[in-house]
C-alpha cells in the first residue's frame, strides 16, 4: 500500500512575508499580487487563475464565475483584499485582452511562470519554496479554521467528491490540543 503524504501548507506569517516582497508600484507586481491572492484567498487552481476572463468577474457581487475541472461552473466569492488587488490590476492592465491576469502584451500568463514567480518571491522573502497548489491547500485549511464547514469549502474549491476536500484540509495540531483541553465531562 502506498503511503499518501499530507500536502504542505503555508503559514500566515510566510504568506505575509511573500506578499511583502511584491513591488506593487509596477504593473507586473499588481498582476502577481492578484494572482497570488486568487489562489491563496479564493482557492483557485493555477489554471483557473491564469485563465480567468474579464467577463467572469462580477464586480458588484464581489464574486467570480469559474469553469473548473470537468467543465463544471461554480461561483467563488472574493474577499476585500483580493477585490482591491484585482481592481488595482484592472486600472493598469492592457486594454483589449479578454484574459484578465494577462502579460503586459495582453497574452495569457503561462502557469509555469506562476511557479517560477513564486520561487523568486520566496527566495527574496527568505521563506521555504511555495508552489501554486500549496496556496490552494492553504486556502482550504484556513477556510475550515475560519468556521466554514467542509461542504462550503468543497463548493469554493469546486471538488466533485468531498473526500478530495478532506485531503486538502489540514487540522491545526495546536488548535486541536486547545479544543481537547476545553472539553468537560
Q: Which residues are catalytic?
A: 45, 69, 133, 136, 159, 168
What is the spatial distance between Cα 73 and Cα 35, in angstroms, rounded to a whole number? 20
Residues 6+ apart with CB under 8 A from 121: 18, 21, 22, 32
Q: From the CA atom positions of the chain, what is the Rg in Å? A: 17
Angstrom distance (rounded) from CA 6 to CA 169: 9
Transcribe 41-96 into DSSP letters: HH---HHHHHT-BGGGEETTTTEEEEE-GGG-EEEEE--HHHHHHHHHHHHHSPTT
Q: How many whole angstroms separate alpha carbon 137 and alpha carbon 175? A: 18
Amino acid at each position: 500500500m502506498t503511503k499518501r503524504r499530507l500536502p504542505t501548507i503555508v503559514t500566515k506569517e510566510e504568506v505575509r512575508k511573500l506578499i511583502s516582497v511584491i513591488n506593487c508600484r509596477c504593473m507586473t507586481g499588481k498582476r502577481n499580487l492578484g494572482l497570488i491572492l486568487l489562489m491563496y484567498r479564493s482557492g483557485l487552481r493555477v489554471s483557473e487563475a491564469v485563465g480567468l476572463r474579464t467577463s467572469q468577474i462580477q464586480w458588484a457581487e464581489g464574486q467570480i464565475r469559474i469553469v473548473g475541472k470537468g467543465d463544471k461552473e461554480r461561483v467563488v466569492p472574493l474577499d476585500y483584499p483580493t477585490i482591491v488587488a484585482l481592481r488595482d490590476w484592472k486600472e493598469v492592465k492592457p486594454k483589449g485582452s479578454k484574459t484578465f491576469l494577462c502579460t503586459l502584451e495582453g497574452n495569457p500568463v503561462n502557469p509555469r511562470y506562476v511557479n517560477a514567480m513564486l520561487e523568486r518571491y520566496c527566495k527574496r522573502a527568505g521563506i521555504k519554496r511555495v508552489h501554486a497548489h500549496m496556496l490552494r491547500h492553504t486556502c482550504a485549511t484556513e477556510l475550515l479554521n475560519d468556521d466554514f464547514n467542509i461542504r462550503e469549502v468543497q463548493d469554493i474549491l469546486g471538488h466533485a467528491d468531498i473526500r478530495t476536500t478532506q485531503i486538502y484540509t489540514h487540522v491545526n495540531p495546536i488548535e486541536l490540543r486547545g479544543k481537547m483541553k476545553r472539553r468537560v465531562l
